[in-house]
């Protein structure tokens, strides 16, 4: 049985990936310090997968704890590294904390990999590295633009650190550049759990429709797009999770043609903010979300969607789930959360 470490495995994408790994017979160890999630996520994973993965509450940016943890797991076949801070605004306020956490943990894992070069390494990257791309859909060879935030910079620098480490130490790694992950597991046992006021569109929509937040502010109605609102490529989190397993298996089977490969993970289809709201209204039955236009949000790009041909041709992976399905699953998750939904009193 192959053993895979999922860092940040109690987070949104990490928990869905843990479920997919368990379903395929992997042994899963989760390292998560609960910095942006709750321990109950483990119950949700167990409910879906029928088994409870091992979970260690460890801060991977803490050098001595990280080393002790890794020494106790000397037999890993792969690492999928999700653990990172991800709030764009917060990263502008606390850049040093972001660099120390996101890059510190990455360096410690890569350092361990020097002695375990057979272990496959998958890194969570982001379409944010492209900034406002000049050509759409966005291919992997599109230029990386100066980052808009320290968070975005940690993804760019993270990829560079991996590229150098792979070259120097004979490692094997894949970076996956996510477009906009949304939705939840269709069982409603796991989903997104933003603490505080959601900054991302879909959790704000579902919390607003559930009466936990005020009306949605649609940031900008004067973009040069088909309805004036910004366009993103929204991908169902289960599709995204499954791509990690395919990428991991490519490395484990020794099929990678380059020691460090990069893939876009998106659907290839862009949707405007208003189209997302319409999809929610279709998917959520009686529920509806109130919204109003607001000024553009600083740092937002106009439009971004993926050219998915590389993932399709090389990995043999394509997103299968629709926007409506993602919205229905996100809403089912919100309803399941019910009164347990994070509510810090801010509306």
Angle at the Cα of 222 (from 221 to 224), degrees rounded to 5?
120
C-beta neighbour count of 25 within 10 angstroms: 8
**Which position among 151, 178, 223, 234 bears the catalytic label?**
151
88 binds ligand UD1 (CB under 6 A): yes
Q: Taking Cα atoms as reference points, which of 132, 135, 136 lies closest to residue 147? A: 132
* Residue 66 or 127 having the CB closest to ligand UD1: 127
Q: Taking Cα atoms as reference points, which of 322, 317, 308 lies closest to residue 242? A: 317
218 binds ligand UD1 (CB under 6 A): yes
DSSP secondary structure letter of residue 339: G
Binding-residue pattern over the window 126 to 155 for ligand UD1, x denoting contact by CB under 6 A: x-x-----------------------x---
204 binds ligand UD1 (CB under 6 A): yes
Residue 258: is it exposed, middle or buried by C-beta count within 10 angstroms (0-12/13-18/19+)?
A: exposed
* Residue 116 or 217 having the CB closest to ligand UD1: 217
Interhelix angle for 201-209 vs 323-337, to 10°? Answer: 50
C-beta neighbour count of 186 within 10 angstroms: 15
Taking the alpha carbons at both ends of the chain, their separation in whole angstroms is 47
201 binds ligand UD1 (CB under 6 A): yes
Q: How far is the CB of 220 from ligand UD1 (least distance, A)?
A: 6
C-beta neighbour count of 172 within 10 angstroms: 22
CB under 8 Å to 19, separation ≥6 — which residues?
45, 48, 49, 185, 190, 241
Region of 117-125, 195-203, 319-327, 339-347 interacting with ligand UD1 (CB under 6 A): 195-203
Q: How far is the CB of 232 from ligand UD1 (least distance, A)?
A: 5
189 binds ligand UD1 (CB under 6 A): no
Cα distance between residue 138 and residue 126, in whole Å: 12
For residues 46-75, which are near ligand UD1 according to CB under 6 A?
A: none
Q: Select from 217, 225, 309, 318 the one that contacts ligand UD1 (CB under 6 A).
A: 217
With CB under 6 A as the rule, give the number of residues binding ligand UD1.
20
What strands lie across the sheet with 173-178, from one edge to the other?
Answer: 54-56, 27-31, 3-7, 78-81, 120-126, 173-178, 260-265
Region of 51-59, 60-68, 238-246, 292-300 interacting with ligand UD1 (CB under 6 A): 292-300
Region of 111-119, 160-168, 193-201, 318-326 interacting with ligand UD1 (CB under 6 A): 193-201
Q: Select from 46, 111, 118, 300 the one that contacts ligand UD1 (CB under 6 A).
A: 300
Binding-residue pattern over the window 159 to 188 for ligand UD1, x denoting contact by CB under 6 A: ---------------------x--------
200 binds ligand UD1 (CB under 6 A): yes
Region of 217-225, 237-245, 249-257, 336-344 interacting with ligand UD1 (CB under 6 A): 217-225
Preceding amide of 137 cis, omega within 30: yes
* Residue 170 or 299 having the CB closest to ligand UD1: 299
Region of 19-27, 51-59, 116-124, 297-305 interacting with ligand UD1 (CB under 6 A): 297-305
* Residue 41 or 216 having the CB closest to ligand UD1: 216
299 binds ligand UD1 (CB under 6 A): yes
Q: Taking Cα atoms as reference points, which of 306, 75, 313, 35 lies closest to residue 195? A: 35
Residue with tokens 């000024």: 295
- 178 included as an active-site residue: no
Phi, psi of 262 (to 5 degrees): -125, 135
Q: Which residues are catalytic?
A: 151
Which residues of this protein are in contact with ligand UD1, per CB under 6 A?
Answer: 86, 88, 126, 128, 152, 180, 199-201, 204, 216-219, 230, 232, 273, 297, 299-300
């Amino acid at each position: 049985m192959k053993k895979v470490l999922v860092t940040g495995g109690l987070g949104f994408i990490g928990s869905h990936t843990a479920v997919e790994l368990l379903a395929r017979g992997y042994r899963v160890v989760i390292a998560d310090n609960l910095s942006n999630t709750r321990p109950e996520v483990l119950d949700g994973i167990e409910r879906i997968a029928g088994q409870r993965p091992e979970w260690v509450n460890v801060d991977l940016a803490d050098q001595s704890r990280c080393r002790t943890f890794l020494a106790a797991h000397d037999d890993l076949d792969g690492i999928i590294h999700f653990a990172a801070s991800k709030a764009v605004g917060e990263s502008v306020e606390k850049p040093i904390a972001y660099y120390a956490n996101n890059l510190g943990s990455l360096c410690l894992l890569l350092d361990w990999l020097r002695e375990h070069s057979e272990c496959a390494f998958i890194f969570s990257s982001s379409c944010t590295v492209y900034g406002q791309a000049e050509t759409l859909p966005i291919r992997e060879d599109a230029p990386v633009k100066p980052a808009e935030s320290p968070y975005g910079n940690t993804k760019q620098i993270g990829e560079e650190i991996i590229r150098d480490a792979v070259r120097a130490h004979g490692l094997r790694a894949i970076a996956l550049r996510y477009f906009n992950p949304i939705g939840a597991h269709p069982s409603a046992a796991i989903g997104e759990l933003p603490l505080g006021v959601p900054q991302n569109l879909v959790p704000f929509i579902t919390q607003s429709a559930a009466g936990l937040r005020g009306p949605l502010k649609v940031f900008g109605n004067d973009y040069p797009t088909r309805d004036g609102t910004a366009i993103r490529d929204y991908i169902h989190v289960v599709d995204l999770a499954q791509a990690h397993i395919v990428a991991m298996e490519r490395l484990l089977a020794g099929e990678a043609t380059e020691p460090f490969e990069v893939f876009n993970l998106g659907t290839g289809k862009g949707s405007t903010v208003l189209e997302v709201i319409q999809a929610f209204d279709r998917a959520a039955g009686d529920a509806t979300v109130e919204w109003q236009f607001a000024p553009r949000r600083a740092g937002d790009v106009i439009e971004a969607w993926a050219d998915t041909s590389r993932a399709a041709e090389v990995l043999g992976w394509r997103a299968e789930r629709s926007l409506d399905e993602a919205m229905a699953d996100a809403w089912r998750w919100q309803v399941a959360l019910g009164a347990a939904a994070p509510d810090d009193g801010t509306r």
